[in-house]
Structure 1
Amino acid sequence: MEKNTNTEQKNMMPRDEFFVSLAPHIRTDDTVSKIMLDVIIAMVPALLGSVYFFGLNAIKLLAVCVIFCLGSEYAFQKLTKREVRINDLSAVVTGILLAFNLPATMPLWMAAFGSIFAMVIIKGCFGGIGSNFMNPALGARLVLMGSWGKEMTNYVAPTGFGPVDALSGPTPLSLIKAGNFADLPELKDMIIGNIPGVIGETSAILILIGAIYLIYRKVIRPDVPVIYILTTAVFLAILGIPVNILPYELFGGGLFLGAVFMATDYSSTPINRKGKIIFALGCGIITAIIRTKGSMAEGVSYAICLMNVVTPLIDRLTKTEAYGEATK
């Protein structure tokens, strides 16, 4: 009888009063805001490059996207009576990344709509930071592409702070898609970023500088970006892209931007290392297939978002046993 009483008292104790987890126990000083600040610092070279190449239009897009991302997240959290967490800087990161994925001529109200959609629908409605099933900036880009495809593909050549050329120009990937290799720009211009495209993806060298910083700060590991880019290159060659054209495929479009800043997103990518490698391989294969067999010249956004959706399955298939856990 006494034993039963003790058991009942034990069961009545609050379950969250004491919690013992399996070893190992890892402590870290990292916080969301510190990690997001490192990501913002890593994006500064590409941000400055976008302003240098696309001038005032880039500044306007960056300002609108960041302001509306912050504002919509604050309003959503207030209306839903959740903890206001705009101080964690994740909304700022999403705003910059969304702006990076827009052409310089994008109407500002469309950029504002994309920002609200990213923060409210993709992030907020699924539980906020850490719970979103897809990268918010890329998800918003796909919605904008599906809704206003003409405006989203109105790429102009970099003019700095000079007058923007009203005529849109073909991107290197569009030229490759059309088989027009003769009009491709010089490779050095593609590496630097002096080519038509969205404001944040044109300069591979500036994105690589940011990647080196993130790797140094141990915010990301180099394996995911490297595997993603190499897999894309291998399958582009397998699917018929000439070897001498491969550098244009790699430095053109959003491959470097996506591989460094979006395929490494903590929330929407697999948890363990094996899963991350599978994720990167999948992104590379899908990107190559879309670029060579699809109707579009680009495929990074769709590849990453498709793999974001598959992430729960990858996590389940690559789940490992906890250290010290006994098997049944």
Structure 2
Amino acid sequence: MTIEKKMEIGISTFLEATNGPDSHAERLRNAVEEIVLADQVGLDVYGIGEHHRSDYAASAPAVTLAAAAAATKHIRLTSAVTVLSSDDPVRVYQDFATLDSLSNGRAEIMAGRGSFIESFPLFGYSLDDYDSLFEENLELLLAIRKSEKVSWRGGHRPAFDNLGIYPRAVQDPLPVWIATGGSPESAVRAGMLGLPVVFAIIGGMPERFAPLVDLYKRAAIQAGHDPRKLQIASHSHGFIGDTTDGAADLYYPPTQAQMNKLGRERGWPAYDRSAFDAARTLRGALYVGDPEFVAEKIVLLRKNLGLTRFFLHLDVGVMPHREILHSIELLGTKVAPIVHKELARIEG
């Protein structure tokens, strides 16, 4: 597999606040501290995923990212994801164009349909329109980023004629990624549009996503896009410690608690240590271990999927903030240099 783009490494988070609403303010302040540290240790990107639940503090990613924009210099700032099906594309563009100005051209949007559905009743949308809302809102968002003045006719929002959308982003165009949990339709859509794609790889063996990557690339080529310019990212859970066993022992209890909480909501089987340990093996989807082991797993992912960006989702359950900061430091100062050195060796 020919790979021509630098491997970017960063952080994604849903801003988990396991003590409920009373801990939201602290979690938001901690997020800004994490972004500043990630910038200082040389990480490439930090993403916040939109959620509207009491156990997350991430209902307004652009606001939180903007709070860190003035205190950072290089790190790119993105949603991970924006639930575009239940949002207004005009406001989404305005929010992230504002962030783009505040950060001097470092904002991105990761657009997805979302794996949680709380935003639909909250903002007055029907789940019967789950797919059509996303398709229409994505079309409008891309029209807005392309042109200062837009006319629009659609099925889910009022029409408008030749209206200006401001402010305009510093970047032209403002980067928009398509996020998917593994839907072939989403991979094809991203490829047809020539947009970068993010795969949420949170279970099984990451190499099984190779057919989706190929589908994405084939769709892009058929639509006339240059395959050398395509960007492919993944989002996976994990944690880095000074030792592999120590990292696993620290990360397992909150992971088990969170997986079982979601499992009760969604009918999943109970999550136990054997499932956790299987997922953190070399070919598994959990990136838990010391810097050398996590780097080895990222390099393998690059070989198997041709990734150009890797997101490590760190905060799960009740992970102490100091441990999250230490993991970010290790990712930037230990893991990323190992990955880049090894890729330079094997890719030339």
Pairwise same-fold verdict (TM > 0.5) = no
TM bucket, shorter chain: under 0.3
More strand by share: 2
The structure that is helix-richer by fraction is: 1
Give the TM-score of the pair, scaled to structure 1.
0.26
Task: Give the TM-score taking structure 2 as reference length.
Answer: 0.25
